Amino acid sequence: MPAEEGYRHDLLVVGGGGAGLRAAIAAAEESNRLSIAVISKVYPMRSHTVSAEGGTAAVMRENDSLDTHAKDTIFGSDFLADQDVVEAFVKEAPGEVIQLEHWGCPWSRDPDGRVSVRPFGGMTVNRTLYAADKTGFHMLHALFQTSLKYDKIVRYDEWFATSLLVEDGKVCGVAALNLHDGQVRPIAAKAVIICTGGAGRIYPFTTNAAIKTGDGMALAYRAGVALKDMEFVQYHPTGLPGTGILMTEASRGEGGYLKNKDGYRYLQDYGLGPPTDKPVHRKMELGPRDILSRCHIQEHLKGRTFEGPYGDYVHLDLRHLGEKVIDKKLPFVRELARNYVGIDPVYEPIPVRPVVHYMMGGISTDISGKTSLDGLYAAGETACVSINGANRLGSNSLTELLVFGARAGRAAARYALERPALRSNPIAQLVSDERKRLDQRFLRADGRERIADIREEMQNAMEKGVGIYRNQAEMKETCETLRKLRERFAHIGLADRDAVFNTELIAALELECLLDVAEAVAHSALAREESRGSHTRTDFPKRDDARFLKHSLAYRTPGGSRIEYLPVTITRWPPEERKY
Amino acid sequence: MSEETITLEVTRYRPGHDREPRAQTFSVPYRKDWVVLDALNHIKDRTDGTLSYRWSCRMGVCGSCGMMVNGVPKLTCAAFLRDYHPGPIRVEPLANFPVVRDLVISLDDFMEKLRRVKPWIIREVEKPVAEGEYLQTPAQLDLYKQFSMCINCMLCYAACPVYGLDPVFIGPAAIALGYRYNLDSRDEGYRIRQPILTEAVGVWDCTFVGECSVVCPKGVDPAAAIQRSKVAGAKEWFMSMLLPWGGR
Ligand SMILES: Cc1cc2nc3c(=O)[nH]c(=O)nc-3n(C[C@H](O)[C@H](O)[C@H](O)COP(=O)(O)OP(=O)(O)OC[C@H]3O[C@@H](n4cnc5c(N)ncnc54)[C@H](O)[C@@H]3O)c2cc1C
Ligand code: SF4
Ligand code: FES
Residues A330 and A214 in one domain: no
Architecture of domain B108-246: Orthogonal Bundle (1.10)
Task: Please give the share of chain A, as a percent, with pLDDT higher than 90.
Answer: 96
Residues A214 and A327 in one domain: no
In what helix (H) or strand (E) does residue A207 lie, and over which residues does it extend?
A: none
What pLDDT, on the 0 to 100 scale, is given for residue A363?
98
Residues A129 and A253 in one domain: no
Is A293 within the bounds of a domain?
A: yes
What pLDDT, on the 0 to 100 scale, is given for residue B237?
44
Residues A151 and A258 in one domain: no
What pLDDT, on the 0 to 100 scale, is given for residue B247?
35
Q: Known catalytic residues of A?
A: 236, 252
- Last residue in a domain, options A397, A428, A459: A428
Q: Locate the chain B residue with the closest alpha carbon to A48.
A: B57
Read off the CATH number of the domain in which A70 is found: 3.50.50.60
- Last residue in a domain, options A338, A354, A370: A354
Half-sphere exposure of B46 toward its Cβ, with a 13 Å CA cutoff? 11
- How far apart (Å, rounded) are the C-alpha atoms in residues A10 and A20? 15
Half-sphere exposure of A297 toward its Cβ, with a 13 Å CA cutoff? 15
Contact of B189 with chain A, judged by CB distance below 8 Å, is answered with no
Is A501 within the bounds of a domain?
A: no
What pLDDT, on the 0 to 100 scale, is given for residue B148?
98
What value of ipTM does the predicted structure carry?
0.95
Q: Over the stretch A63-112, which tens digit does the pLDDT of each residue have? A: 999 999 999 999 999 999 999 999 999 999 999 999 999 999 999 999 99
Cβ atoms of A360 and A394 closer than 8 Å: no
What pLDDT, on the 0 to 100 scale, is given for residue B248?
32
Residue ranges of chain B that CATH labels 3.10.20.30: 5-105
Q: Over the stretch A372-409, which tens digit does the pLDDT of each residue have? A: 999 999 999 999 999 999 999 999 999 999 999 999 99
Q: Over the stretch A494-549, which tens digit does the pLDDT of each residue have? A: 999 999 999 999 999 999 999 999 999 999 999 999 999 999 999 999 999 999 99
- Number of domains observed in the structure of chain A: 2
Read off the CATH number of the domain in which A245 is found: 3.90.700.10
Contact of A424 with chain B, judged by CB distance below 8 Å, is answered with no
What pLDDT, on the 0 to 100 scale, is given for residue A3?
56
Sheet order of strands, A128-129 included? A56-57, A128-129, A117-118
Contact of B52 with chain A, judged by CB distance below 8 Å, is answered with yes
Longest dimension (CA), chain B: 77
- How far apart (Å, rounded) are the C-alpha atoms in residues A210 and A198? 11
Confidence of residue A455 (pLDDT cuts 50, 70, 90): very high
What pLDDT, on the 0 to 100 scale, is given for residue B245?
43
Residue B89 carries which side chain, given as an amino acid letter?
I
- How far apart (Å, rounded) are the C-alpha atoms in residues B21 and A362? 43
Q: Locate the chain A residue with the closest alpha carbon to B141.
A: A106
Cis preceding linkage at B73, omega within 30: no
CB-CB under 8 Å, A451 with B16: no
Average pLDDT value for residue range A179-201? 97
Ligand 1 midpoint to CA B58 (Å): 14
Q: Which ligand is closest in space to the CA of residue B66?
A: 3
CB-CB under 8 Å, B135 with A137: no
Is A112 within the bounds of a domain?
A: yes
Q: Over the stretch A310-342, which tens digit does the pLDDT of each residue have? A: 999 999 999 999 999 999 999 999 999 999 999
Cα–Cα distance list, B138 to B15, B102, B179 (Å): 50, 44, 18
Residues of chain B with confidence (pLDDT) below 50: 1, 233-234, 237, 241, 244-248
- Last residue in a domain, options A327, A354, A381: A354
Instruction: Write out the residue range of the structural domain in which residue A389 sits.
Output: 3-232+360-428
Q: Which fold, B5-105?
A: Ubiquitin-like (UB roll) (3.10.20)
Q: Over the stretch A551-565, which tens digit does the pLDDT of each residue have? A: 999 999 998 999 999
